[in-house]
Amino acid sequence: MRKIGILGGGHVGATAAFVAASRDLGEVAIFDIMEGMPAGKALDMTQTAPVLGYDGLVTGSHDPAILAGSEVVIVAAGFPRKPGMGRMDLLKKNVEIAEAAGTIVKTHAPDAVVICVTNPLDVMTWVVQQTSGFEPARVMGMAGMLDSARFSAFITMELGCSPKDVRAMVLGGHGDSMVPLARFSTVNGVPITELIPADKIEAMVDRTRKGGAEIVKLLGTGSAYYAPGSCAVLMAEAVLGDTGRILPCSTWADGHYGLGEVYVGLPIQIGAGGVTKIVDLDLTDDELAALAKSAGGVAKGIAEVKALLA
């Protein structure tokens, strides 16, 4: 049976575990440092299986050894974003968590592909990759997927169409400088630029950039978890099934789009080993400039982390 490890059993991790189990992706193992909590959530999900009719086995423990044998590990541990808190404000609080996650995966699931959800996402993905020592292709970040899902939802709301027909493309860092690409976002193959006035598209772009903060403000405490957890599982499914899906995710740019050594949201093809290809879109000069600016913000965050770890 295939195995998915969930590192962090909070809202995002538990959502990812439940979605993975309900989609019958294989055995799901939840690790969290809180004794009892991961086992309790796993038991609850196991008791849900007869109700919803899935076969996925779910286990949980505060011992990281439970992750042994995982082919994919979703890193969902982290300090939650609070109202008024910028993503980079999370930097210091989550560096230690991301370092610990990288060490745990390296020790207990050394052959796994890693999908990082911890914020600030692009920077924390880099920390996990550096700490684990895995090749960059095996360590991805969930951003891009989540940002595109939010853009897709706003397109659906505007047009009153089925979300099944909407495919949006958002690149760049997971933050206010992300780059939603309207001309690469479609409804059943039709670009939204043919369906929605420019001013309304711009309003949706702005809302997408502020999508996380909007949910944080509404919740009052905590941040989004249904969509982030589900996006991470979709990526894990692409790895486990070696499907070759092309999805916007945080990846090691390595010169693509004129970017340097930085993690940032780009369209990638995902297979059994993680990132099998970075897809190079024909972007305009303005789009490339916006992407470079966004990547620059991530590079600054990485530099800050390097200073912290020095």
Answer yes or no: are the C-beta atoms of 103 and 132 closer than 8 Å: yes
How far apart CA 146 and CA 160 sit, in angstroms, is 20
How far apart CA 42 and CA 28 sit, in angstroms, is 9
The alpha carbon dihedral of 7, 232, 79, 135 has a sign of positive
Tally of CB atoms within 10 A around 261 = 12
Phi and psi based region of residue 293 (left: phi greater than 0; alpha: psi -120 to 50; beta: remaining): alpha
Q: Helix axis angle, 145-159 relative to 226-240, nearest 10°?
A: 120
Peptide bond into 120 cis (omega under 30): yes
How far apart CA 201 and CA 203 sit, in angstroms, is 5
Q: How many CA atoms lie within 13 A of 12 on its CB side?
A: 26
How far apart CA 224 and CA 308 sit, in angstroms, is 28
Residue whose pair of structure tokens reads 């989550």 in the numeric block: 94
Longest CA–CA span in the chain (Å) reads: 54
Residue whose pair of structure tokens reads 């010169």 in the numeric block: 255
Active-site residue flag, 174: yes
List the catalytic residue out of 11, 62, 108, 174.
174
Any residues with CB less than 8 A from the CB of 153 and at least 6 apart, and which? 163
Which candidate, 20, 87, 78, places its Cα nearest to that of 241?
A: 20
Decide: helix, strand or coil at residue 86.
Answer: coil
In the chain, DSSP finds a helix count (H) and a strand count (E) of 9, 14
Residues with a catalytic annotation lie at 174
